[in-house]
Amino acid sequence: MKVYLDNNASTPIDPLVIKEMEPYINEFYGNPSSGHWLGKKGRGAIENSRNQVAKLIGAKPKEIIFTSGGSESNNMALKGIAFAYRKKGSHIITSVIEHPAIINPCKYLEANGFKVTYVGVERDGRVNPKDIEEVMTDETILVSIMHANNETGTTQPIADISKICKKKGIYFHTDAAQTVGKIRVDVDDLGIDMLSIAGHKFYASKGIGALYIKEGVEVESLIHGANHEMGKRAGTENVPGIVGLGKASQIASENMNEYNKKVSYLRDLLHEKLKSIARTNLNGHPKERLPNTLNLSFTGIDSSQMLSKLEDIALSTGSACHDSVREPSAVLTEMGITRELALGAVRFSLGRFNTEKEINYVVDEIKKLLEIRT
């Protein structure tokens, strides 16, 4: 049996999403900017998808800009605000546990004259809103904090942070690649100005994403060319990908409660069974986390070696290898987790298509490894 438990890295494309995309690959292939019937067919499909994505996050359709994925959306948000409001200030705040798609654009901005403050997190992986408020200055123009961490699944107090930003007149962006399509996300409830979406994190294809930009927020374009995406992102639109993202958004909207109930049950079942066969440590917040994510450290075990023996099970360690020297996950290290425990960490990220039979199989295979080891 082959089992896929790496859904935070990428999900399979839902068969219903593939079915929706196929006509725009095989039949309706025209440029959506063209004035003829084939172009109009593509344009209509794009606007229908824009409505579907907007509905998923409680936004207005005109606030949705389609991109190539989460990384482009994050770059557009950070660089777009930085260069649009540089005369107002040059200070940006983010956290030490952000995805590289936030950290590296911030490093780029630092190299181009901006100042970036990286706030720490508490032991449970959450940012303290007070820590963000304390480092704000008159030069601060943007705060960017991820909605949920990709390794631990821990969710951040976004609404509380947004209140501070509003009070100070500072723009607020959240990387929601791990939350959109998994848990309820409402941009008004969160109080954010920008939000990044990655299609392949919730059963759409790779190479498609979106950026929510609240009406009235000005963002400098990254890609210049023709007047696509309301003049904010040039380039002929990826119609099949956009159609797939729209369909994935519709499916997520209609099945959110069912999805949450199923994956949280399987996650907790997996956790209980693993605790019964090994000494483990939960990494991240025990409650404020994604329903599909379980990050565990196996005491006294090198997780990379364990995963290399689980050839039919797709999992992630979160650690990095450089020149054959294994380094612990930077996220776990920043949370204050010891090197030994961090090197024993495994991320189990479940998805819509996982089953209880697969969970039992994974536990049995890990148990066999542990028995051989002892």
Per-residue model confidence as pLDDT tens digits over 320-356: 544 455 789 999 999 999 999 999 999 999 999 999 9
Question: Checking DSSP bridges between strand 209-213 and strand 64-67, what pairing results, if any?
Answer: antiparallel
Per-residue model confidence as pLDDT tens digits over 66-82: 999 999 999 999 999 99
Burial of 264 from C-beta contacts in 10 A (0-12 / 13-18 / 19+): middle
Q: What are 60's two structure tokens?
A: 């207005």
CA gap 245, 300 in Å, rounded: 42
Question: Which residue among the candidates 130, 268, 321, 368 is catalytic per the annotation?
Answer: 321
First to last CA, the chain: 25
CA gap 77, 30 in Å, rounded: 30
* Residue length of the chain: 374
CA atoms within 13 A on the CB side of 252: 27
Strand partners, 171: 142
In order of start, what are the domains of the chain with their CATH numbers? Answer: 3-9+255-369 (3.90.1150.10), 15-252 (3.40.640.10)
CA gap 84, 221 in Å, rounded: 9
Q: Phi and psi (nearest 5°) for 333?
A: -60, -45
pLDDT of residue 354: 98
CA gap 275, 296 in Å, rounded: 10
- Specify the pTM: 0.95
Residues 6+ apart with CB under 8 A from 317: 303, 304, 307, 329, 345, 346, 347
CA atoms within 13 A on the CB side of 369: 21
Strands of the 115-119 sheet, one edge to the other: 64-67, 209-213, 194-198, 171-175, 140-144, 91-95, 115-119
CA gap 213, 216 in Å, rounded: 8
Residue the block writes with tokens 């392949």: 200
pLDDT of residue 322: 45
pLDDT of residue 327: 85
CA gap 367, 309 in Å, rounded: 12
Please say if 165 is a catalytic residue: no
B/e letters for 302-335, b = 16+ CB within 10 Å, e = fewer, are ebeebbeebeebebbbbbeeeeeeeebbbbbbeb
Closest CA to 140 of 89, 102, 106: 89
pLDDT of residue 319: 57
Contact, 192 vs 174, CB < 8 A? yes
pLDDT < 70 stretches in the chain: 319-325, 373-374
| Residue 236: strand, helix, or coil | coil
Residues 6+ apart with CB under 8 A from 135: 93, 117, 119
pLDDT of residue 326: 76
Closest CA to 117 of 126, 133, 125: 133
